[in-house]
Amino acid sequence: MRPEHWLYTIPLRLRSLFRWGQADQELDDELRDHLERKTEEYVAQGMAPEEARRRARLDLGGIEQTKERCRDARRVNWIQDFLQDLHVGLRMLRKSPGFTAVAIITLALGIGANTAIFSIVNAVLLRPLPFPEPDRLVRIAFNEPGLGLRDVPFSVPELEDLRNRAGVFNDVSTIASASENLTGAGHPERLEFMVTHPNYFSMLGATPQIGRLFGPQDLALGFAPVAVISDGLWRRSYSADPNVIGRIVRLDNDPYTIVGVLPPGFRHPGPTVSGNVEVFQTAGFSGDPAPPPARGTRFMPAAIGRLKPGLTLEQAQARLTAMAIEIRQDYATDYPEQAQWTIEIQPLQEALVGNVRPMLLVLLGAVILIVFIVSLNIANLLLARASGRQQEMAVRSALGASGSRMIRQMLTESMLLSVIGGAAGVLATVGTLGLIQRLVPSNIPRLNEVRISWTVLAFALTISVLTGLAFGLAPALHSAKTALSSAIREGARGSGFGNKTGRLRDALIVSELAFAVVLMVGAGLLLRTLRDLLQENPGFNPTQVVAANLSLPEPNDPKMDPYLSVAQQTTFDRELLRRMRSIPGIQLAAITSHLPTSDLRLSDAQAINALAIEDRPVESSLDLRAERIRISADYFKVMQAPLLRGRFFTEGDEDGKQPVVIIDETTARKYWPTRDPLGRRVRFGADLTKPPMTVVGIVKDIKNDGLDIDGIPHIYVPVYQSPARDLSIVLRTSLQAKVLEPQIRHEIQSIDPGLPAFNVSSMNDVVGRSLATRRFSADLVGGFAGLALLLASIGIYGLLAYTVGQRAREIGVRMALGARRWDVLKLILGKGVVLAGVGIVVGVIFSAATASLMASLLYGVHPHDLLVFLAVPLLLFAVAVLASYLPARRAAKVDPIVALREA
């Protein structure tokens, strides 16, 4: 349109919009003037005045309709219509508060659930990492596919290859996280720290809140004496003191100068040991305490890098794969052929959230199914209501409403419902977001980024509008079609909609039931997995066991280390156990380096140690690996883990005596399938100077690595022979963890006041926490499935109750003609049974086709688990029959005389 055009039209539009009354008055005047003159003309032609007026009116067509078409010519009429529709819609909703309440509550639930889950999915999966050019950030992993190992450690020369030889990275930094004891700021505290190269922060594009981050001046062979702390630690331990820069903090007894504080939003983008990284340190990994660099000295756990601009992931990967092959050829002695050592990169975001993606997607799928079911349910209710409004629609069309106008009216009403429901849902989500975040298991990364952003609001609005359209369209189209002609004549006597609506409603119910089946099958599979895991024998008895963690400091400066020698550590361990046993109510106490089901490991390959078995050729020993767990003598007694053969450790299994190990069944089966392992000798690592250790006992498998992880061989060694600094204490007692906590802490700190005790909790809680993610998703999907069951039964009940109401007269006639009550009952019940049957069959087929998508979330349960696939249809069928029985009984109670007279 040309500007000149707008000159004319814009004032007109504004006038039609804001002076609507005046424009309408003028339209009235204009048409009345026309009618009068036309009448005069006909009179002049000799017609009787009455006849002339009639003819003039007929010439004009339906006056109201002509007016409406003139109004339509004003382009802004739709705004007017919309306001009017809104008004009418609100009135209609107020007129049937029961329907409105049910619709809005179910919608609020559906849309609220969607908004909540989407806000999590958006923050965790969709939003790019909060760093500049996040798509260039990658996680670098070193794998040995030949041995089935991923994420093996790497050496300094290998890191140098990434930097200098590969040519695909701008920056590479090692990331090594662990926890250490913080002293020198309030009471001793255990916190997570991370050691990186000095380029870590500049690679991520982070800026300090105060002070500075690491830079080239921090280059050192070993640890640089500086630390950067998180906003959280700064606020917690230093009361947000701006003069914290320059203060000395003692980490595992070593002094570091605080040089900077990170901004509140900064999170290390990767899996961490227990939560947020609070202290960052920087090191060159090439000098004390690190061993001198050598290609085969692999101790660095993980690395991240920033790709050069313009390089795709595939190109970079291809280059790295080629380089790995070159390196293997160049240094053949450091890379055994069968390991097939290689380098793999993965987008950092994927590496961060990869393991929660399936769960979040299943949750998103579940809430979307819920919205489908809610929509179908409301569509059904609306269709039933629409039949009552047939006459209203007919009158409207007679008064000049066009078909599209009536569809708009109906859609406005359903949109009104969905937007009110959506707004209620979003408000509920905003109100409960804090609660939701607490319910979400904390091992899901990036939870701190979850918020109701514009994206989330846009999603909620889209879902609301789509549901409004979905449940409004069918009834709207239907009303518009049937409203005309017949309705006025049939009017109140209407026999409802014909077969067509009936079929539409049947189809809606069938889809609703089918969706409910899918949701219930999903929930069934997840709940069954959870139940199986809860019933799974962990190999120990977690009841009446309290556990606590503590860690001995590991200073870089040996002079600062009170636990340097095996003897020093053994002394500490013995004193610790003596003091623990002295606490009243403690029956037994033991130490372990790995608390079962508490996953402190960062990757499989790092926890599982290479193993050598005597009288086996070295070549074939490469794939011999076992997880080494250090324990004290009474460990298996505390855990009530049964000994199969041989003996437990004793207090006498200490340094200087014969080195001994106890193996579990998996190890025995795997490495001595045909021979007796007792008395055989093994060795960890390739160091042949260490004395071999003799197998003295076999215990039943303990689920050390999680209830859902099997098949990892474990070898237990006495903690006095192979000391560990990261320890868990396990105590057999009937006392509560909370009661014991102060005593445990007191006893530990009376040995060494710098030692924090942390994570004091019952073993049952530890096991429970390991299932938190599964429990969360199973409970949530289970809740949604329950809701789906409820909605589906409301749906089928509503449909049949409505049918009975509509067919009361027919039923009366049938009964007058001799039908028995049983026949009537059968008629209605039969319809319910058929609908439920079809819906359930469709749902089962659909579930069977999609269940394997959930396979990665299941444990010990087949995606096509027979029990679930039988129980769900049966349950739903039973509920559907019950929901059908109520209206059927009402139908059977119809009094033929009353029905016929009333009808």
Please give the residue ranges that form the binding site for other proteins (CB under 8 A).
4-5, 7-9, 12-13, 16, 26-27, 29-31, 33-34, 36-38, 58-62, 65-66, 69-70, 72-75, 398, 402, 484-485
Judged by beta carbon, residue 69 or residue 690, the one nearer other proteins is 69
Min dist. Cβ of residue 5 to other proteins (A): 6
Write the single-letter amino acid at 823: D
Min dist. Cβ of residue 9 to other proteins (A): 5
Place of tokens 């260490």: 690
Judged by beta carbon, residue 75 or residue 738, the one nearer other proteins is 75
The two structure tokens encoding residue 129: 């990492």
The two structure tokens encoding residue 774: 């599964």
Q: Considering all CA atoms of the chain, what is the largest pairwise distance in Å, rounded to the nearest integer? A: 135
Min dist. Cβ of residue 513 to other proteins (A): 38
Min dist. Cβ of residue 855 to other proteins (A): 56
Angle between helices 20-44 and 63-73 (to 10 degrees): 130
Residues 841 and 644: their CA atoms lie apart, in Å, by 50
Residues 212 and 228: their CA atoms lie apart, in Å, by 8
* Overall residue count recorded for the chain in this entry: 903
Judged by beta carbon, residue 25 or residue 736, the one nearer other proteins is 25
Residues 320 and 336: their CA atoms lie apart, in Å, by 19
Judged by beta carbon, residue 36 or residue 288, the one nearer other proteins is 36
Min dist. Cβ of residue 396 to other proteins (A): 12
Judged by beta carbon, residue 9 or residue 217, the one nearer other proteins is 9
Min dist. Cβ of residue 79 to other proteins (A): 14
Judged by beta carbon, residue 36 or residue 895, the one nearer other proteins is 36
Min dist. Cβ of residue 62 to other proteins (A): 6
Min dist. Cβ of residue 74 to other proteins (A): 6
Judged by beta carbon, residue 402 or residue 541, the one nearer other proteins is 402
Judged by beta carbon, residue 69 or residue 901, the one nearer other proteins is 69
Min dist. Cβ of residue 411 to other proteins (A): 20
Min dist. Cβ of residue 888 to other proteins (A): 39
- Buried/exposed 151-186: b ≥16 CB within 10 Å, e otherwise: bbbbbbbbbebbbebbebbebbbbbbbbbbbbbebe
Min dist. Cβ of residue 78 to other proteins (A): 13
Judged by beta carbon, residue 395 or residue 903, the one nearer other proteins is 395
DSSP string, 636-661: HHHHTPPEEEE----TT--TTS--EE
Residues 66 and 30: their CA atoms lie apart, in Å, by 12
Residues 668 and 297: their CA atoms lie apart, in Å, by 30
Judged by beta carbon, residue 66 or residue 317, the one nearer other proteins is 66
Tell me which H or E stretch contains 870.
Answer: helix 866-892
Judged by beta carbon, residue 485 or residue 587, the one nearer other proteins is 485
Min dist. Cβ of residue 844 to other proteins (A): 45
Residues 282 and 284: their CA atoms lie apart, in Å, by 7
Residues 896 and 771: their CA atoms lie apart, in Å, by 60
Q: Going by C-beta distance under 8 Å and a sequence separation of 6 or more, which residues neighbour residue 472?
A: 379, 382, 410, 411, 413, 414, 415, 417, 418
Min dist. Cβ of residue 497 to other proteins (A): 19
CA distances from 852 to 102, 268, 771 (A): 35, 34, 21
The two structure tokens encoding residue 378: 């409301």
Judged by beta carbon, residue 26 or residue 350, the one nearer other proteins is 26
Angle between helices 403-439 and 97-121 (to 10 degrees): 50
| Cβ contact 176:549 at 8 Å | no
| Cβ contact 825:552 at 8 Å | no
| Cβ contact 302:176 at 8 Å | yes
Judged by beta carbon, residue 39 or residue 667, the one nearer other proteins is 39
- Using CA atoms of 416, 418, 424, 425 in order, give the dihedral in degrees to the nearest 10: -170
Rg (CA), the chain: 37
Residues 235 and 263: their CA atoms lie apart, in Å, by 11
- Using CA atoms of 787, 788, 793, 795 in order, give the dihedral in degrees to the nearest 10: 110
